[in-house]
Amino acid sequence: MTILKWLLIVVAAVYVCGLAVLFFKQREMLFPIPPVGRTPPDAAGLPEAEEHVLTTADGEKVIVWHVPAKPGRPVVLFFHGNGDFLAGRVARFKGITSDGTGLVALSFRGYAGSSGAPSERGLLLDAAAAYGFAAARYHAEQIVVWGFSLGTGVAVAVAAEHPVGKLILEAPYTSTTDVAGALFPIVPVSLFMRDQFHSDRRIARVTAPLLVMHGTSDPVIPIRFGERLFALGREPKRFVRFPGGGHDNLDEFGAIETARQFINAAGG
């Protein structure tokens, strides 16, 4: 009995220590900021883009790249993933804008030249500033919000609170607590996770046409989370599964063309 008691004590101590590490390191895990500094778009290979520095409601300075839309074309308001930086998405941005579609791509606070440290509240303030930038230049119905991975939570929040033309979610989730809970099933993540990005509680307020794209072999955000979120969204909506597609390689499976068809379709 004494051995069993001490074994239980050791297991409990290890568990508590593990919880402490997860609690204090959670933002480093959720926001693994790449060690990349500010890169002008022309140096990154996107000379058609203009760099702007926006001031958020709480005083941070965040960077957006803007490729002006050709007359009559929509503009994509793009929110990147948690390990992304704008210069690393140039090939995608070229694909998005190749038909005259405009682009407003935000570098979240703490990422690649933007000031501050990331949090859910902070990213939503960054997104509000980026939306304001786009809305000052384009009609609301021209704005197509596109979120990837972590950025889908931001995209849903923007589309739930502001008028937009369409919403594209690539590798989305119901909430970050759901994803974390699948990774750490014995950890009560919902009790101590600070940044929960509850898209499942927001998406019903989105009235714009919705496109969800997800790879069937996504190892980071399993497709079941995208399917659950899609089920909560309003019509008109469309779910596109890419057989064999992973997390960040959907352009190889036709994501750009799928998105272009959705953007150009009348009424979504």
Q: Where are the domains of the chain?
A: 1-30, 42-264
Q: What confidence score (pLDDT) does residue 21 get?
A: 62
Q: Return the closest-CA partner of residue 235 out of 199, 268, 192, 202.
A: 268
Q: What confidence score (pLDDT) does residue 7 get?
A: 63
State how far the Cα of 199 lies from the Cα of 208, in Å rounded to an integer: 15
What is the band of 268 on the pLDDT scale with cuts at 50, 70, 90?
low
34 CA to centre of own chain: 15
Residue 236, pLDDT > 90, answer yes
Q: What is the pLDDT of residues 207-226, one digit of tens each?
A: 999 999 999 999 999 999 99
State how far the Cα of 104 lies from the Cα of 84, in Å rounded to an integer: 15
Residue 23, pLDDT > 80, answer no
What is the band of 8 on the pLDDT scale with cuts at 50, 70, 90?
low
Residue 240, pLDDT > 80, answer yes
Contact 218, 171 (CB under 8 A): yes
What is the band of 1 on the pLDDT scale with cuts at 50, 70, 90?
low
Residue 6, pLDDT > 80, answer no
Q: What is the pLDDT of residues 149-167, one digit of tens each?
A: 999 999 999 999 999 999 9
Residue 24, pLDDT > 80, answer no
Q: What confidence score (pLDDT) does residue 9 get?
A: 62
Residue 107, pLDDT > 90, answer yes
Residue 22, pLDDT > 70, answer no
**Residue 117 burial by CB count (10 A; 0-12/13-18/19+): exposed, middle or buried?**
exposed
Q: What is the pLDDT of residues 120-150, one digit of tens each?
A: 999 999 999 999 999 999 999 999 999 999 9
Sign of the torsion angle spanned by Cα atoms 198, 180, 259, 48: positive
Taking CA atoms, 212 is separated from 13, 58, 134, 145, 224, in Å, by: 43, 31, 22, 12, 12
Question: What phi and psi values does residue 106 have, to the nearest 5 degrees?
Answer: -95, 135
Rounded average pLDDT over 94-114: 97
What is the band of 26 on the pLDDT scale with cuts at 50, 70, 90?
confident
User: What is the CATH architecture of 42-264?
Assistant: 3-Layer(aba) Sandwich (3.40)
- Number of helical H runs and strand E runs in the chain: 10, 8
Q: What confidence score (pLDDT) does residue 25 get?
A: 78
Indicate the pTM of the whole model: 0.93
Taking CA atoms, 38 is separated from 34, 79, 96, 201, 231, in Å, by: 11, 17, 22, 34, 39
Residue 19, pLDDT > 80, answer no
- For residues 190 and 55, the model is more confident at 55
State how far the Cα of 61 lies from the Cα of 82, in Å rounded to an integer: 18
What's the whole-number average pLDDT of the chain?
93
What is the band of 27 on the pLDDT scale with cuts at 50, 70, 90?
confident
- For residues 191 and 200, the model is more confident at 200
